[in-house]
């Protein structure tokens, strides 16, 4: 079932048409990737979903409801939470305070939890209990953040700041987690760790839409991917299938398996 649907999406920056009538679906419980070179329209697309970029025309539906051009805080409250490109860590706050900022829109909620036998159940939680659960979840994914929870966030390494940005988004208890260039500027070993954790987050029941230039690492974990070039989808398909298309990867994504 598609939790997010994009139809005939057009976005302009002044006289420049950045996104030219694209169509996408994001199925619940999957990782969907938007790939392409700089200027392809990837970040513009994901920012239109979170409400940061205004849509010229077309439709963005979340859980069956039109959300195009809604205020970003309303979209966040609905369960679409973005970890932005560039991390945007709040300097002057500790790691724990940065994480808590991500929970600002939470209310008493019914959430999905994983049972010991692997099935999932709905459980009602008070806001305070939910926040503590989310802290525990984030610290289980990123133990270094727990170790440094009282440390000024600005003193973290680049990789740790990226973990904090993802953790802060998870504190919003997202129905869809939007990740914008999570590997940007990171060393290869840190990139590998980030992608392994993103896959773990999906396996815990989250839906993830990821924008990336690192095609190989992304396609290894993506259930489905869309390849953009100059604001248009040039191809789409299952991550594994696209990953094995060397000609496609080398021609459009500037990355290879070697």
- Is residue 255 pLDDT above 70, yes or no? no
Q: Is residue 138 part of a domain?
A: yes
Strands of the 2-13 sheet, one edge to the other: 16-27, 2-13, 57-62, 65-66
* Threshold 0.85, pTM exceeds: yes
67 vs 69: CA distance, rounded Å: 6
Taking only the tens place, the pLDDT of each residue in 11-58 is 998 899 999 999 999 999 999 999 988 888 999 999 999 999 999 999
Residue 86 has pLDDT above 50, yes or no: yes
Query: Per the structure, how many domains does the chain have?
Result: 1
Q: Is residue 197 part of a domain?
A: yes
Which residues span the domain enclosing 102? 2-253
- CATH code of 145's domain: 3.40.50.300
Give residue-wise pLDDT tens across range 134-177: 999 999 999 999 999 999 999 998 889 999 999 999 999 999 99
CB-based contact 225:218 (threshold 8 Å):
yes
* C-alpha torsion sign, points 94, 193, 171, 228: positive
Three-state SS at 225: strand
Residue 142 belongs to a domain: yes
Confidence of residue 256 (pLDDT cuts 50, 70, 90): very low
Tell me if 104 is assigned to some domain: yes
Residue 203 lies in a domain: yes
In a domain, 213, yes or no: yes
Over residues 117-130, the pLDDT tens digits come to 767 778 888 889 99
Does residue 258 form part of some domain?
A: no
Q: Is residue 41 part of a domain?
A: yes
Dist CA 171 CA 133 (whole Å)? 9
């Amino acid at each position: 079932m598609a939790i997010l649907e994009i139809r005939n999406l057009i976005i302009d920056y002044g006289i420049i048409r950045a996104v030219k009538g694209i169509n996408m679906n994001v199925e619940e419980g999957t990782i969907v990737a938007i790939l392409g070179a700089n200027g392809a329209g990837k970040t513009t697309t994901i920012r239109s979903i979170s409400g940061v970029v205004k849509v010229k025309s077309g439709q963005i539906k979340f859980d069956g409801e039109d959300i195009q051009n809604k205020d970003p805080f309303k979209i966040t409250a609905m369960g679409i939470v973005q970890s932005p490109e560039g991390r945007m860590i709040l300097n002057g706050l500790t790691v724990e305070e940065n994480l808590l900022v991500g929970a600002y829109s939470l209310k008493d909620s019914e959430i999905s939890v994983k049972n010991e036998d692997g099935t999932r159940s709905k459980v009602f939680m008070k806001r305070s209990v939910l926040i503590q659960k989310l802290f525990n979840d984030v610290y289980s994914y990123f133990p270094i953040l727990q170790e440094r929870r009282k440390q000024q966030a600005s003193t973290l390494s680049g990789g740790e700041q990226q973990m904090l940005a993802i953790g802060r988004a998870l504190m919003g208890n997202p129905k869809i987690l939007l990740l914008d260039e999570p590997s940007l500027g990171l060393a290869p070993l840190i990139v590998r760790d980030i992608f392994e954790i993103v896959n773990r987050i999906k396996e815990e029941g989250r839906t993830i839409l990821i924008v990336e230039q690192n095609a190989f690492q992304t396609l290894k974990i993506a259930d489905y991917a869309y390849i953009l070039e100059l604001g248009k989808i040039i191809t789409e398909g299952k991550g594994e299938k696209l990953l094995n298309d060397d000609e496609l990867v080398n021609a459009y994504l500037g990355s290879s398996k070697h």
